[in-house]
Structure 1
């Protein structure tokens, strides 16, 4: 099968206000045959779930399962005070619990000697119930990258990845067990959506990572690295589609940025990604929390993106890009475009040109593109673009005035890189032998 890029129009473009809807007719006209190899997306080793019409099945609603126990991080500050009172203690004890959990990273009643001995165990059990049981931990990059496998209260499995970089520590968190977006190149979506995670289960991933860092469990800092010894950056790029679990993700974000009653992180260090749930993108823009927004695009043309990202059947490329531009207009925060470079599938030079055209049609200075070589599986059609092709793709975008940076790949040796997070058979065996704490 040959590649068929759109013919670029020679008609001069009319200027339009930044953020106005794009005139797609200018950029998507009759295709031509170039003879360039075009690989089509297809699943390998698993069957993609489809609806009655044969389209990939999308799961937006979480399957009904037993809810995790309500935790301090699920509550507002006022609700915490009321809950402590219900447990028979003065409301000010809530503030002490917050300090133990968010500053000292502990849920162990034995560490909380400032609480009265009488009723301490009951208070901690009622406010800080166990949420995640560590099943296994894998390290790579000389100890600077750690992947955790967590078992939730109902046996569901999720993963998070901790990475030390010069000047910052990043944690890639999961927001769902599994994923319902059914993208054929992503390992996480192969088993579908198990359930949404609670806000506290999301936050607990950070607290547990901070506890490990504080204990010296992450690779050592360079002598000139003066970053704090705690997680500074969060990327919602682990298991799940964050905006399909909107309310709980936003509660977790509020806890992360709360300087008085939470983790006190900078909103600018938090990246919320999506494959393109347009109504939720618009809702996120109205939150007045200046997180970084990332759109996982992976193809600038609907023909290919319909196959790569099944949610594109609901909201097309231009709708997603318009929502992304609107996010910038509302927040002033530059948007990231995530683009996995897949050999002979979406890495063609004309696609770089088309992406540049579509981004520039919405104005300048509002976006940054992060291409990342796909993390390959031996023998699969899903493999990373060759280095010269990657470089050409990046060059074309930069030459078109689109700031573009090829992203670093971390953790692929331990299946901890983007698109690789999934519970394997080996994980399932290990989890079965691990009792929930």
Structure 2
């Protein structure tokens, strides 16, 4: 008896259409989406968008059914056309010091890490990512060892704030006694290579009828993409931080390769021209302390001269080790001597307390799990 094999392909199963998510749209985009889906008439779009905005960004709802002052038939139409779902939280870790880290999957193979640090700023700061991976290859940074996958959308940036708020239990959006008071774009990626989406996300986060975090409490950190400094200030009014780490071009080119494109003289000129720069709106310079590399007293004196006349403070960051790194952290006494020179030069120079080191959540340690073995898998292997 012969056997005949049917090698024809099975009919393709139509993919379930992904409904647009309203959570990351600006106010104007939200109104436009409602009209395009024929959920509301154009003359009612602005009113309805404001109503939904408050439910999404003040109350943090993830289901249209929770919008009790919206008619049932309208809620049904919204549910049929749109989504409010959060991205998947793949892993949540809590450090012994209270730092929280979430691994968030935005799409298959698209993962980022977001970190909440208590007792930073007015109450606590959320370190958000703007890209999956990074192109800058700063030699002291773990994230820099991961190739760039893509920019995050404004919705994906805002989702990091929403997920943190979910976990912290901060809905409705509090005005007083909030635990998440500051946002820092210091996670994965170079924000100024994704300025359009970063600016749109800041517009959403800072809106007074929603999450309502003041632009003065939102800081964008850049390694020095000079042409985008002015547009950043004009479009966002955010506070500026510069990932500096060296006082001369030769050393900075080793640590921050972007310096070859935008050397220190050009960078400093761009910083001095930053919109709104004043004693009330100082630039933060980030300086990671690397043993025997950039931590001498001579370097401290050179830093004072480099920043002369710029309203600034300098965050000294003890280097946070990561697997395979070529650097060591400066001795504590060396860091304190360095800080003393800066203080005498007239600059506040707090030494940043390392937070979340035990869960690789500290500055420079973030790297998505698609590029490394899961912590849970490592623990399992270690136990076998």
TM-score of the alignment, normalized to the shorter chain, above 0.5: yes
Question: Are 2:192 and 1:192 aligned?
Answer: no
Decide which of 229, 250, 255 is 1:303's aligned counterpart: 250
The C-alpha deviation readout for 1:224-257, integer Å capped at 9, x for no partner, is xx95235210000011111110100000011111
Rounded to whole Å, the distance in 2 between the matches of 1:162 and 1:298 is 24
**In structure 1, what is the equivalent of residue 208 of structure 2?**
259
Unpaired runs of at least 5, structure 1: 1-67, 217-225, 431-437
Task: Using the TM superposition, give the Cα deviation of residue 73 of structure 1 relative to its aligned residue in structure 2, in angstroms.
Answer: 4.8
Aligned ranges 1:233-272 → 2 under 5 Å: 233-260=182-209, 262-272=210-220
Structure 2 Cα separation of the partners of residues 267 and 406 of structure 1 = 24
Tell me, in whole angstroms, the C-alpha distance in 2 between the residues paired with 1:75 and 1:345.
45
Distance in 1, matches of 2:105 and 2:375, equals: 10
Higher RCO structure, 1 or 2 (CA under 8 Å, sep 6+): 1
Please state whether the residue corresponding to 2:329 is helix, strand or coil.
Answer: coil
TM-fit CA distance, 1:82 = 2.7
Give TM-score, length-normalised by structure 2: 0.84
Query: Moved runs in structure 1, 4+ residues, more than 6 A?
Result: none
Tell me the equivalent position of 2:116: 162
- Find the partner of 2:344 among 399, 409, 417: 399
1:282 counterpart residue number: 230
Does the 8 A contact of 1:177 with 1:197 survive in 2? yes
2:312 aligned residue: 367
Number of residues of Structure 1 aligned to a counterpart in Structure 2: 348
Name the CA distance, whole Å, in 1 between partners of 2:213 and 2:271.
Answer: 24
SS of residue matched to 2:149: strand
Q: By percentage of residues, which structure has more helix?
A: 2
SS of 1:286's equivalent in the other structure is helix
Question: Higher mean Cα deviation, 119-128 or 331-340?
Answer: 119-128
Matches of 1:117 and 1:286 in 2, distance apart?
42
Whether the 8 Å contact between 2:133 and 2:148 is mirrored in structure 1 is yes
Partner residue of 1:82 out of 5, 8, 32 = 32
Give the match for residue 149 of structure 1.
103
- CA distance in 1 between counterparts of 2:292 and 2:275 reads 32
1:122-168 per-residue CA deviation (whole Å, 9 max, x = no partner) reads: 514644453511001000135x2110000012331101011221741
**Cα distance change, pair 124–343 in 1 and its aligned pair in 2 (3 A):** farther
2:50 pairs with 1:95? yes
After superposition, the Cα gap between the structure-2 partners of 1:70 and 1:197, relative to the gap in structure 1 and judged at 3 Å, is farther
- The 5 A counterparts of 1:48-197 are 70-90=20-40, 91=45, 92-118=47-73, 120-124=75-79, 126-142=81-97, 144-165=98-119, 167-197=122-152
Mind listing any 5+ residue stretches in structure 2 that lack a counterpart?
1-17, 378-384
Counterpart contact for 2:116–2:125, Cα < 8 Å: yes
Q: CA deviation at 1:89?
A: 2.8
Query: Partner of 1:12 in structure 2?
Result: none
